[in-house]
Amino acid sequence: MNVHTGPEALIDLERFGLRVHPADGTHESLGKRHRTKVRIAIDPTATAGPSMIVSIGEGEARRLMPLAPFEATTMVDELVARGLLVGNERLRHTVEHLLARLSEIYIELRLNTLTIDPAIVSEAGYCIDAARLDFSHRPPHAGKEQKTTGGRDNVGVQPRSHGRPPLAH
């Protein structure tokens, strides 16, 4: 199994447009209002099936994967009803967006598990401080996308002999 943690996992998530730990190590851009620390995990071994679990303090909410925007909304509703999250509309929208986006990334990358611990959410946005991505396959290349053929993918191109006589057909 291929696992990305630390900066490697944050780079993977940043490539999908998610906001990750700031370079200055602070969360000043998130403001002070309703700042909340959350843990988000996708557990493929849950009894009902692969599930997203959002934990705040001692409480949590669970939903089956994949998570559509409606399920993200009901998950946030549950967190607010339990008093774990403030019912501020901007904060709710931020958390709903983050949950739906993580579900999409989980599906797109065909991950075994995904863990965000912690992420800081506020009405001004969110920031992922640490992550763990368990790939069921070789993870995507961390560099730039290859634009030309090369390496072993150049099927149909005559191989170079490098000084050896050509193969007989």
Residue 109: both structure tokens together:
């990358």
Question: 24 with 71: CB under 8 angstroms?
Answer: no
- Predicted structure pTM score: 0.77
- How many other β-carbons are positioned within 10 Å of the β-carbon of residue 127? 20
Tell whether 147 is covered by a domain. Answer: no
- Classify residue 115: in a domain, yes or no: yes
pLDDT of residue 25: 67
Asked if residue 146 is part of any domain, the answer here is no
- Cα–Cα distances (Å) from 164 to 62, 156, 157, 159, in that order, read 62, 19, 17, 11
* CATH number reported for the structural domain that contains residue 127 in this entry: 3.30.470.20
Encode the chain (169 residues) as per-residue pLDDT tens digits.
588 898 889 998 998 888 887 666 677 777 666 789 999 999 998 888 899 999 999 999 999 999 999 999 999 999 999 999 998 899 999 999 999 999 999 999 889 999 999 999 988 889 999 999 998 876 655 444 444 443 434 344 444 444 555 555 5
Helix (H, G, I), strand (E, B) or coil at 115: strand
Residue 8 forms part of a structural domain: yes
Contacting residues for 128 by C-beta, under 8 A, at least 6 apart:
10, 13, 18, 19, 20, 21, 116, 119
User: In sequence order, what are the beta bridge partners of 64?
Assistant: 51
* CA dist., res. 155 & res. 77, Å (int): 53
Q: How far apart are the first and last CA of the chain?
A: 40
Instruction: Give, in order, the Cα–Cα distances in Å from 86 to each of 79, 93, 121.
Output: 9, 12, 11
Q: Looking at the domain assignment, is residue 84 inside a domain?
A: yes
Report yes or no: 19 and 128 within 8 Å, Cβ to Cβ: yes
**86 is in which domain, residue-wise?**
2-24+32-134
Residue with tokens 């309703």: 34
pLDDT for the residue 101: 94
Q: What is the pLDDT of residue 146?
A: 40
Tokens of 54: 């959002």
- Structurally, the chain folds into a number of domains equal to 1
